[in-house]
Amino acid sequence: MVAAAAGCLALAWWQWTRWESTSGSFQNLGYALQWPMFAGFCFYAYYKFVRYEEAPPEPRAAVTEIPADLLPERAAPAPTADDDPALREYNAYLADLARANRAEADNEGRTHP
């Protein structure tokens, strides 16, 4: 932690000297002000880690179910008309394709869904 904070402060110093040079820009100034905050975060993270080791926070109960009234009610599906001859013909065609696919898979020794 000390090495990380020292590295951050060294980078801040380097950016500060770049900003003071003739080729420095305000971007270097921004970085020079940002790196000390990273060093402070290193200390803060270490402090929190030590505190959590000494007294871990109480585990919270996890929510395992969604309350029934949380989501809006779904609309009921529209009833389908079974008397449509085009639909009946198309479904029969799909059933024939599925049977042919299963028969082909059985002949080739493949497994089928």
Domain membership flag for residue 20: yes
pLDDT at 99: 93
- pTM for the whole structure: 0.47
Domain membership flag for residue 66: no
pLDDT at 12: 93
Domain membership flag for residue 62: no
Q: How many domains does the chain have?
A: 2
Domain membership flag for residue 48: yes
Tens of pLDDT, residue by residue, the chain (113 residues): 899 999 999 999 999 998 888 888 899 999 999 999 999 999 999 999 998 888 888 888 887 788 888 888 888 888 776 778 888 899 999 999 999 998 888 777 666 55
Same domain, yes or no: 11 and 50: yes
| C-alpha closest to that of 13 among 40, 38, 33 | 33
1: its two tokens: 């932690």
Same domain, yes or no: 7 and 44: yes
Domain membership flag for residue 67: no
| Domain final position from 37, 54, 71 | 54
Domain membership flag for residue 102: yes
pLDDT at 112: 55
DSSP state of 66: -
Q: What residues make up the domain containing 108?
A: 83-113
pLDDT at 67: 81
| C-alpha closest to that of 37 among 15, 12, 2 | 12
Domain membership flag for residue 107: yes
Domain membership flag for residue 72: no
pLDDT at 73: 85
Q: Which helix (H) or strand (E) holds 44?
A: helix 26-54
pLDDT at 39: 95
